[in-house]
Structure 1
């Protein structure tokens, strides 16, 4: 029994330490340039990482709008979690866990900063409370800025600035609506979708997103 008590005590203090470490990182990352878990993994393996961090004001309004409409249309209204979408996806999920379709931009930011990419109910269970905390601790502009600077857009290519220069030979500030839609629709599968050379399916997604950008009011007033 004493061994069990000691083990449970160890788990308790480990959980408290991890919670404190995450809280410290959430506070620090509001003010300093963050590094994602994928970037850390590549650094650890000696693989190249390309990322030029830029403030949100140096990322085109077209890309901000395209990513919000494509990834999380309720970004400005939700509290970090889209409960309706999450409930639907969990109901339909297989043994590997919920799909990416249930993730808000805040949840994806949390996943990229603190968790791992593979699907599982454990990861989703951690994502949700962390996203709620992040939404309380950071303004929406900061959440979107960090997401656009840590999102992966190709092997070892992180952030909008690096992606814009690689694929379109210009800064993220100068992306037009079509280029922004190419980047936004590449996010669900960044290692297979090349924004500079979209396949037929990718191009169809881009056309639909550009039409939505033109037809709908920009849902990102909170990040203007």
Structure 2
């Protein structure tokens, strides 16, 4: 796995290793975990070292038709999902700061006109939202009432914003970021992501950056921000009725 903190490794290890091992080899593991939440009753994690782990509930094991000791591979597993009509949502990349990069981040001074936003910035933030497309707002999921919000300004205008919300039962904070179309390519997104990540680290949280595999711009931003790819994570689709 990537050189990230034990907090992150332990968080991801738990659901994929807690339970009965259905199948395991050097690169592929399937575990039956009866304690998974309903919206995560099937999960797949492929780490950056190309190892794939699957965890699923006993009900889904029965639905898909898996048995202890049967020969499996990722390809066979996905074929069985398809045959059973079980759909996955679509994988996200997972990015985190390595321990080395975190040490750099916590000591640096963030450049530009970047600051934390509060409820007092409601008018400024509303103007920012009004200048963004509905699609960008939905994709970014940046909200002023989230746990932490930072903005980057140009000539006193809010042109980029990022917000975070902690995950339940984990010292991990998920972030979203949005830059207005006319101000992209100027480093605003990189600065606000590093600023909010520095804030999260000071509060004891691991910043988490997620994006869809086909979102090249978001992937490029993650790398430019200094984040390290941890892996790809997928869960059962809400459209699956099982």
The structure where helix makes up a greater share of residues is 1
Work out whether the TM-score is over 0.5: no
**TM-score, L = length of structure 2:** 0.25
**TM-score, L = length of structure 1:** 0.27
Larger of the two Rg values belongs to structure: 2
The structure where strand makes up a greater share of residues is 2
